[in-house]
Structure 1
Amino acid sequence: MAHPDDLLGPGEHVVIDKHPHWRALLLPVVASVALALGGASLAGPVSALTWATTAWFVLAGVTAVLVAWLVVAPVLRWLTTHFVVTDRRVMCRIGVVRKARLNLPLELVHDVRFEQGALDRLLGCGTLVVESAADGPLEFDDIPAVAEVRAALGRVLDGGHLQEGRSTNGRA
């Protein structure tokens, strides 16, 4: 799901549009495997109960709540989270039901840096830190290819982001 172009101003171009790094989906994958294994291991004992029908409904209800909380919600959050840099602003959009948006004009950005731990370097992600005149530093976690994003944002801030109507990621 790409960033909707109708949220852009006239003549505004998307330079970077990223979801969080795929490692944000590790917990949902592990949870779905654990829930499947847990459900399969409980199937035999539940069937042996004298009140098996009620137990099946309880087991199904608990499993459905856990799947929604541990699998569906994080995947939807990942799908609907966008870190976007245009030629005019830095934006972050999060959420399906409860939405949060950040719009920071590039004129307010003073400095951009990134931080990576050992695991971040191994996985190719990191935290992008944007210092602005508006507030304290803004930290965007789990940005994939954070060094390249930082370099592209630096080019945008220096004014060298567009050449012949095309942005650095190929979107016009």
Structure 2
Amino acid sequence: MAFPEKMLNHGEELLIDTHPHWWVFSGVSVRLVLAIVIAVAGASQFDDNTFVNGVGIALILFAVLNLAFVYVKWRTTDFVLTTDRLVTRSGILSRQTREIPLERINDLACHQSLFERVIHAGDLMIESAGERGQQTFSNVADPFAMQNTIHQAIEGATTPRPANAADSIPEQIEKLDELRQRGVISQAEFDDKKRRLLDRL
């Protein structure tokens, strides 16, 4: 599912909105092929055997349902990068959202096995300031390219934007309010920084 534009903050831009690597379908696809092979082999060996044919059909149906479940789970799992934060969303019936502000990311690391290098997949480890510490995201498509893009987004988020001082203060207050709403800074910190900015007008 695409990341809704209404969830973007004022001035925030969407950089990446992607799903896990297609490799997540490998296991269920193999099981579906095996179920078809077993069903066909059983039907050819035990001709007109209702029980054997029923078992074969049941195996195929189970494999198809399993594949459909994995597909829906894949479609509802998002890895989103914006100019302000990194967001992961998952869940079919109930949605789970994890959000990491770019300014709180301390370190990025990637891991790929030899096979994952061939198919351009891997794990992305993100260390951030907060309760969660290091988080690992598996089955990321082209994790090293993702790592570079996140680094560029962090640099863009921390680089001061040239602007007229009188115009930048309201923008800074709005940015601080967004951080307060997301729990990055407390209400007291917001009030203190807002007062200091207003004193400069």
Shorter-chain TM-score: what band?
Answer: 0.7 to 0.9
**Structure 1 residue 43 displacement after superposition:** 2.8
What is aligned with 2:69? Answer: 73
Secondary structure in 1 matching 2:99: strand
Q: 2:150 aligns with which of 119, 130, 153?
A: 153
Secondary structure in 1 matching 2:71: helix
Whichever residue aligns with residue 137 of structure 2, its letter is F
Whichever residue aligns with residue 132 of structure 1, its letter is S
- 1 CA distance for matches of 2:91 and 2:40? 32
- 2 CA distance for matches of 1:55 and 1:39? 8
Equivalences for residues 22-101 of structure 1 within 5 A: 22-44=22-44, 48-49=48-49, 52=50, 59-69=56-66, 71-101=67-97
What is aligned with 1:164? Answer: none
What is aligned with 1:10? Answer: 10
Partners of 2:39 and 2:55 within 8 A in 1: no
- 2 CA distance for matches of 1:98 and 1:61? 29
Q: Indicate the RMSD between aligned Cα atoms, in angstroms.
A: 2.3
Whichever residue aligns with residue 7 of structure 1, its letter is M
Structure 1 alignment gaps of length 5 or more: 162-172
Partners of 2:85 and 2:99 within 8 A in 1: yes
Partners of 1:28 and 1:75 within 8 A in 2: no
TM (norm. structure 2) is 0.68
Percent identical among aligned pairs is 25
**Structure 1 residue 138 displacement after superposition:** 0.7
**Aligned residue-pair number:** 157
Whichever residue aligns with residue 127 of structure 1, its letter is D
Q: Does 1:130 align with 2:126?
A: yes
- 2 CA distance for matches of 1:68 and 1:86? 34
- 1 CA distance for matches of 2:24 and 2:15? 23
Partners of 2:77 and 2:90 within 8 A in 1: yes
Comparing 25-34 with 129-138, which one deviates more in the overlay?
Answer: 25-34
The structure in which a higher percent of residues are helix is: 2
- 2 CA distance for matches of 1:56 and 1:13? 55
- 2 CA distance for matches of 1:27 and 1:47? 30
Secondary structure in 2 matching 1:159: helix
What is aligned with 1:107? Answer: 103
Partners of 1:18 and 1:143 within 8 A in 2: no
- 1 CA distance for matches of 2:157 and 2:93? 37
Partners of 2:42 and 2:53 within 8 A in 1: no
Structure 2 alignment gaps of length 5 or more: 159-201
